[in-house]
Structure 1
């Protein structure tokens, strides 16, 4: 676990957490860490959206790969950016779920709908799936 300020970006705050393979209980801890990081700096709406989208990406990494993940979140100026790195080379596969799928398969659709930008980047062994929320107004 690493939390801190100034990851090469003046005034930025950031967080980096490792999540063990298959540890879905860690998703709640990631959400709590995000609330702590952004809670006093960002209005509720973008903070809740970032929390939801991060939960989706971490859950995808843990459910669809046999390895853990590394979550990095950065708040720099008016941009919230989250990256979830896993260690499987296969790209994520967004699809439109059928009505009887329950809640399965909607994570990347939420990211597409709510994020201002998102993407997938190959990264050595594995990939990073990331999103940004821009125009975030600081609290106060």
Structure 2
């Protein structure tokens, strides 16, 4: 079942829509849980494959077959979006818990991501949020005092 956090306080969850605004906890974060945390340099697109490699290592023995590849794909989309659409650094955090993984990319620009129609033909832009919506078990956007975090969660055993 797809979940997307939205509206209200920090633990609300609701029906799927284009924008989530609140964080939803599913037990994927734990102080002792394996975690990846990387600072991504401004406009440094070399960070995208590096983030994928680091996440692949973190998720080496996690979840059903194919789940870590979905996590890698969605992470690369979030990292790319943060580096292309902002003019500042970003921070990638991935936490593995007993029920799933939560990946969050925080940037320091207040503008919220806006889904757009994917480009036609061989164009590769415009697909990030569409992929997030279709592949993540939950996702959303959380505002910070400065900037925002776009996050997603994947259940370890989902098909």
State the TM-score, normalized to the length of structure 1.
Answer: 0.86
Q: Of 77, 88, 92, which aligns to 1:56? A: 77
Q: Which contiguous aligned blocks of 4+ residues in structure 1 show a shift greater than 4 angstroms?
A: none
Moved more, 36-45 or 16-25: 36-45
Q: Do residues 128 (structure 1) and 149 (structure 2) align? A: yes
Indicate the RMSD between aligned Cα atoms, in angstroms: 1.8
Q: Do residues 14 (structure 1) and 35 (structure 2) align? A: yes
SS in structure 2 of the partner of residue 31 of structure 1? helix
SS in structure 1 of the partner of residue 140 of structure 2? strand
- In 2, Cα distance between the equivalents of 1:101 and 1:121? 32
Residues 119 and 125 in structure 2, CA contact (< 8 A), matched pair in contact too? no
Q: As a proportion of its length, which structure holds more helix?
A: 1
- In 2, Cα distance between the equivalents of 1:43 and 1:80? 12
Q: Do residues 34 (structure 1) and 55 (structure 2) align? A: yes
The aligned residue for residue 5 of structure 1 is none
Q: Do residues 82 (structure 1) and 103 (structure 2) align? A: yes
Residues 119 and 126 in structure 2, CA contact (< 8 A), matched pair in contact too? no
1:22–1:15 distance in 2 versus 1, CA, 3 Å = same
Q: Of 100, 104, 113, which aligns to 1:92? A: 113
Residues 11 and 77 in structure 1, CA contact (< 8 A), matched pair in contact too? no
The aligned residue for residue 3 of structure 1 is none
State the TM-score, normalized to the length of structure 2.
Answer: 0.76
- In 1, Cα distance between the equivalents of 2:102 and 2:152? 6
